[in-house]
Amino acid sequence: GPWCRAHRAACGLPERPSLTSHLQLRGVQRAAPLQARNMTADQAATLPDPDCVAVYVTVPDKATGKSLAGALVERRLAACVNIVPGVESVYHWDGKIETDEELLLIAKTTQARLDAFTSAVNDLHPYDVPEVIALPLVGGSERYLTWLRGSVVPKAAEKTVAEAAQLEESETKGDDKA
């Protein structure tokens, strides 16, 4: 494939490209604001948005799905998580072909938060090797994508949010003593 090691080396590409560099290599650039392009929101809905991704995560049951979805949204690592029942997965595990009934979580987040999202899934998920697969959003409602970006805490703001939570917790403990 185009990302094979020899091709990357011959073209001077990074060892493991980011989603943004992968899309840029294929001529996909970050879209300019609608006003700058003289486009309507409907026209803009067909433009790629390399910053927004949909992430697939499978879970064994509804309770796990609700718990994981809630934690990801509460931590502002995902703007929204859909819980889709009725998924049948067939896969190799420990030298055998396995078949399991699962649920599929479809989470919407940003490329910038994907590492933290993946880390949280790995920490909270009951599977040894949880499925975490991110797909770029190549179009959609501009209003929805704007909401998505605003609903996920940017990496730079993560510390501020954590500090605010600690401050609130310490104030609550102080109120309990009074």
161-176 pLDDT, tens digit each: 555 556 666 666 665 5
Rg (Cα) of the chain, in Å, rounded? 20
Cβ–Cβ under 8 Å, residues 76 and 154:
no
Cβ–Cβ under 8 Å, residues 130 and 53:
no
**pLDDT: which is higher, 91 or 170:** 91
Alpha-carbon distance 65 to 102, whole Å? 10
Surface-to-core class of residue 45, CB atoms within 10 Å of its CB (0-12 exposed, 13-18 middle, 19+ buried): middle
Read off the pLDDT of residues 105-129 as tens digits, 9 standing for 90 and up.
999 999 999 999 999 999 999 999 9
Amino acid of residue 29: Q
Torsion of CA 145, 147, 152, 153, to 10 degrees: 120
Mean pLDDT of 7-19: 51
pTM of the model: 0.63
Surface-to-core class of residue 154, CB atoms within 10 Å of its CB (0-12 exposed, 13-18 middle, 19+ buried): middle
What kind and span of H or E run contains 76? Answer: none
| Coil, strand or helix at 142 | helix
CB neighbour list of residue 55: distance below 8 Å, 6 or more residues apart: 78, 105, 106, 107, 108, 109, 114, 117, 132, 133, 134, 135
18-32, 60-74, 77-91, 161-175: least confidently modelled range: 18-32
Alpha-carbon distance 34 to 87, whole Å? 38
